Amino acid sequence: MESRKPLIAGTWKMHKTCPEAVETARVLAGMTTDVEGADIMIAPPFPALAPVAEALAGSRIGLGSQNLHWEKQGAYTGEVSADMLVSAGCSYVIIGHSERRHIFGETDESVNKKTRAALAAQLTPVLCVGETESERDAGKTFSILDKQVQKGLNNVNLDAASPLIVAYEPVWAIGTGRTATADQAEEAHAHIRRLLAQQLGRNMADTVRILYGGSVKPENIAELMARDDIDGALVGGASLDADTFSRLIHY
């Protein structure tokens, strides 16, 4: 199996003013100077991207955006393009987060357009997939993942140099305090990797990092990370405090 360096990513969602975001980033950068075995990424809100990029300069932490539009420019009030994100200092972008899908109506088709736009701009897309509680209870977890992965990566051409990250986030475990067991998470991750092998080829699938997202905390990350197909975490609430997130990164 290909060796995959873990990625611990934090999304701050709609939290933190610019000064708050800069201070948290500055403190976190100082707490993670010793981290070599994992990559780190934080995704602040749009207004804080450029100042946080400055605060992270020279650190081990990469900068990500929580969303983007698939067009390069145009009359799309309130949207931002991949090139704008790159110019603000981003190297990652989160695409298709469950809150974007379920609150703002994003579809597999729009997720696919955004993924292709990110790759074209040499941003690393973090493609989010996952089932709701009712879908899991109905035994539809794998069929939902099949649809979201296949449609999300439709006509996406990757080579060995192309970055791609997938994040499995069971919707029923996001912000609820519930976490998928390590067995449940590994089962879903292994299924996603099989899907990637079918769509991209085994060699490419073995290089793609698959993150787990859903109430990840310092107390449960080590057990999750011990599993073969779990390559990191997409962290929400626990990433808002620098000390808590640092403890999680140092699992």
Active site residues: 97, 169
Question: Measured on CA atoms in the order 8, 163, 194, 5, is the torsion positive or negative?
Answer: negative
- Contact partners, residue 234, CB within 8 Å, separation at least 6: 9, 11, 94, 126, 128, 167, 169, 211, 212, 213, 216
Strands (E), the chain: 7-11, 39-43, 61-65, 92-95, 124-129, 165-168, 209-212, 232-235
Whole-angstrom distance, CA of residue 251 vs CA of residue 21: 23
Cα 36 from Cα 9, distance rounded (Å): 15
With the C-alpha atoms ordered 233, 236, 237, 241, is the resulting torsion angle positive or negative? Answer: positive
Q: Nearest-CA neighbor of 212 among 188, 233, 191? A: 233
Yes or no: say if 171 and 137 are a contact pair by the CB < 8 Å rule.
no
Assigned token pair, 137 = 């209870």
Classify each residue of 57-75 as buried b or exposed e, where b means 16 or more C-beta atoms within 10 Å of its C-beta: eebbbbbbbbbbbbeeeee
